[in-house]
Amino acid sequence: MKLLATRIRLLRAASALAFGGLATVCLLSAQQRAAYPLAQKLVSAAQAQHPDVTEVGIDLPQAKTCHTIASTDPGDVGGVCESDDIVPLKTGKPAVAKESDGFDVSVLLHDANGTQIGVLGIEMKLAGHTRATALREALAIEKAMAARIPSKAALAGR
């Protein structure tokens, strides 16, 4: 097992040199997924409990930027927040975008005390939804999730 892990690290290092650091980004994403276990557990549970939800992610603002700390799409973890996810941070209002296959909804994420801590992004199937019902479902998911978050520090694994 140690030999396999060593080979994987060497391949990532070689790939990083060959492809300008892309393998390093993947390695950081894996480390960041492990660093935010509560957040990852919450997004996975939300997707499992809502069959029409295709993706869930949590973004936290950090200094002058915003990063995805958990997602049901592992490729998003560690990346900079998407532009539609920043809208609730700037305006305080949800963002609902209709896409060809569904809705992309971003709402403010709170902790159990009601303190704003980040953004919850949810993608859901188009069938059976309008903008209003997509937003209503996203807000219900946020409310249930917020009740399980003691604080931003706890969510961030500190």
Domain boundaries defined on the chain = 1-35, 36-155
pTM over 0.75: yes
pLDDT digits (tens, 9 = 90+) for 13-64: 443 333 333 333 333 345 544 568 999 999 999 999 999 999 999 999 887 8
What is the per-residue DSSP string for 80-122?
Answer: BPPHHHHHHHHHSS-EEEE-SSEEEEEEEEE-TTS-EEEEEEE
What is the per-residue pLDDT for 70? 94
Q: CA-CA distances (angstroms) from residue 136 to 11, 15, 78, 130, 151?
A: 45, 44, 28, 10, 24
What is the per-residue pLDDT for 158? 65
- Please enumerate in sequence order all residues whose Cβ is within 8 A of that of 53, keeping only pairs 6 or more positions apart, or say none: 46, 47, 122, 123, 124, 125, 137, 141
pLDDT digits (tens, 9 = 90+) for 78-88: 898 888 888 99
CATH class of 36-155: alpha beta
